[in-house]
Structure 1
Amino acid sequence: MNILQIKQIAIVDFLLAIGIRPAKETAVSAWYHAPYREDENPSFKVNKNRNIWYDFATAKSGDIIDLAVLVYRTPNIPQVLKMIERAAPAAPLKVRTFMPHPQPSATDAKQPQAAAFQNLRVQALASIPLLSYLSKRGIDLDTARQECKEVHYTCRGKSYYAIAFPNGAGGHEIRNPYYKGCIAPKGVSEFSQGQTDSVCLFEGFMDYLSFLTLRKRERLSVPCYGADLLVLNSVNNLPKALPRLKACKHIYCYLDNDDAGRRVVDMLRELKGDAVHDMMGAYPLYKDLNDILVGKKKMP
């Protein structure tokens, strides 16, 4: 088999072939004890329709080859492919057609390491270029000044400054017109509004600022006034938010209208069922909350 053929093998059939059965299964998904680590509670999910897996405890995800690398404990891809093929006679593996698994973006791949940020200085958000950038994104500036800071730093000997959004781990998400990244540690950001059994969930802080601006201008139908607000600061932070989300009676998801956003909604619905509300479903022509704010529709 070539790599394309290997990737079309159903992950659930591959797991069955190596003797691993699901702890829980539906027509569209299967939950397992992670097959490559100790896992007391089933936290490893396979999406049958997309033929991808997600480990809620470690935030790892991928296709069948990514899984086999972990199962067989080797980064040697030719060897991994042979071992997947070798498993085939043990149980008839089915070859199916699936949408390809999305790859990490170039922005993620180029993000500097935390150690590259030096001479950090956090202060009130006041820089005219940064405020101008937020204004062009439609963000209410009074809201931005209240929720964000401004950070100055050096990176590889050069000086930079950016909008800084604090997270609960003590780090900052940073952004300017040319760069989007994080000064470690990475973490989620939570804001209590008093209604602790409900939460509005956002992927990034620009979505959060857009939500506050739209709500302030009464341009958004919000059924969750008073709900706590939680910003993931990356969909990969979902495992860090799960203890908080599991306690909620209502989770209002203001996530991106893309594969990553829909995948998070699907995962949460596996855990919480009807408690999860996809708020962006009412705005199919917009990718995210900021696009609603500035009136930028997706191409038809």
Structure 2
Amino acid sequence: MGIDVKEFPEVHSVSYRFLSKTYHGVGVINQNNGIEFVGQDLTDSPMTLNSSGVTFLPMEKEHRSDKLCMFADMMDYLAYQTLQKNGFVRVPSDCDFMIMSDVRNFIHISVEGDDYDMVYLYFPNDVMGCTITKTLKDRYGKHAIECNPLYKGYNNLLQFVKAIEITTNSK
């Protein structure tokens, strides 16, 4: 997944040092001023530096959209942005974004979606993701759109995007 940090003002280049080793990658700042970090090779699971929290990324600074896309982690958010940029698959545009980052943040994201006309749910196709999707679908009713059928057969949106890129690049 080729992510150019300059294309996404909310995504920052991040370096941190742990046990005498320096790690480089990208991150977004969450609502508790922690950083949701992904290593530059995008192979490791995302991790939180400092305080865990929900990450809210509005489409516009002073204006809320009427649509919200929710993700389990930053990797799926970046995968969504790749789909949006490359046009491989049509995904909703003009949305605010929310990244849960940790299942302990579920209550926070469930309340946030109440203020939107449409909530697009991009959670993994595993037990946790399906449970969260069903719970939010029950809460939001007709305002919730399950997006995980888009990447059926893949654990999450990131794996789906990687498969598309492999197929596209091998042609």
* TM-score class, shorter: 0.7 to 0.9
- Check conservation: 2:80, 2:157, Cα contact below 8 A: yes
SS in 2 for 1:151: strand
Partner of residue 215, structure 1: 84
Q: Which runs of 5+ in 2 are unaligned?
A: 165-171
Q: Aligned pair in 2 of structure 1 residues 165, 274: CA closer, same or farther (>3 Å)?
A: same
Indicate how the Cα distance of structure 1 residues 263 and 179 shifts in structure 2: closer, same or farther if over 3 A, else same: closer
The alpha-carbon deviation at position 282 of structure 1 amounts to 2.7
Say yes or no: does 1:159 pair with 2:11: no
Give the corresponding residue for 2:33. 170
Asked if structure 2 preserves the Cα contact closer than 8 Å seen for 1:250 and 1:277, the reply is yes
Matched residue pairs, number?
156
- The structure showing larger relative contact order (alpha-carbon pairs under 8 Å, at least 6 residues apart) is 2
SS of residue in 2 equivalent to 1:187: coil
Q: Please show how residues 16-27 of structure 1 align to structure 2 within 5 Å.
A: none
Distance 1:220 1:166 in 2: 27
Structure-1-length-normalised TM-score? 0.48
3-state DSSP of counterpart to 2:149: helix
Q: Does 1:269 align with 2:137?
A: yes
* Percentage of pairs with the same residue: 19
Q: Deviations over 1:13-58 (max 9, x none)?
A: xxxxxxxxxxxxxxxxxxxxxxxxxxxxxxxxxxxxxxxxxxxxxx
Cα distance change on mapping 1:145 and 1:266 into 2, 3 Å: closer
Residue 182 of structure 1 pairs with residue 48 of structure 2: yes
Question: Please, what TM-score do these two structures have when normalized by structure 2?
Answer: 0.80
Q: Post-superposition shift, 1:240?
A: 1.8
Aligned residue type for 2:34: G
Determine the C-alpha separation between the residues in 2 that align with 1:254 and 1:239.
Answer: 17
2:72 pairs, out of 203, 212, 215, with 203
8 Å CA contact 1:235, 1:264 repeated in 2: no
RMSD (Å), alpha carbons: 2.2
CA distance in 1, matches of 2:105, 2:77: 16
Equivalent-residue separation in structure 2 for 1:143 and 1:285 (angstroms): 32
- Structure 2 matches for 1:97-246, cutoff 5 A? 138-142=1-5, 146=9, 147-155=11-19, 158-163=20-25, 164-176=27-39, 177=43, 180-193=46-59, 194-222=63-91, 224-246=92-114
The structure that has the greater radius of gyration is: 1
Deviations 1:245-270 (A, max 9, x none): 12222110111111111111111122
